[in-house]
């Protein structure tokens, strides 16, 4: 059998990606309550900043579980935020934190 000649496909032009705009709902400042404020501060901030401050607190105090990095071991301040739970997953953490912001 003879090989068929294949046409080279023209290179697809890559459209210049437009810079992604943040969702305005996520950029709106939210107010942490007193319990969460003890960890991240009492100033209103966007959800992303509150999560970032929470992670800074967790890393500064070495609260991330050594064996399973997805788990956070709560100290006394975080136990109040986590509803008394001693250990939560990072996915569960965002759900529990959302109860403390308005």
pLDDT digits (tens, 9 = 90+) for 34-68: 999 999 999 999 998 999 999 999 999 999 999 99
The pTM score is 0.73
More confident residue, 18 or 50: 50
pLDDT of 2 reads 63
Whether residue 88 is predicted with pLDDT greater than 60 in this model: the reply is: yes
Instruction: Tell me how far apart the alpha carbons of residues 102 and 82 are, in angstroms, rounded to a whole number.
Output: 16
pLDDT of 32 reads 94
pLDDT of 25 reads 74
CA dihedral 56, 62, 68, 70 (to 10 degrees): -20
Query: Which domains, ranges and CATH numbers included, belong to the chain?
Result: 26-98 (1.10.245.10)
Q: State the CB neighbour count (10 A cutoff) for residue 5.
A: 5
Radius of gyration of the chain (CA): 23
């Amino acid at each position: 059998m003879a090989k068929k000649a294949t046409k080279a496909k023209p290179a697809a032009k890559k459209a210049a990606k437009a810079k992604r705009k943040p969702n305005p709902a996520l950029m709106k400042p939210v107010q942490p309550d007193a319990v969460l404020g003890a960890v991240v501060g009492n100033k209103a901030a966007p959800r992303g900043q509150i999560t970032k401050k929470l992670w800074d607190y967790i890393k500064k105090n070495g609260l991330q579980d050594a064996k399973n990095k997805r788990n956070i071991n709560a100290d006394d301040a975080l136990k109040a935020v986590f509803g008394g739970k001693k250990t939560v997953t990072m996915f569960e953490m965002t759900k529990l934190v959302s109860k403390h912001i308005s």
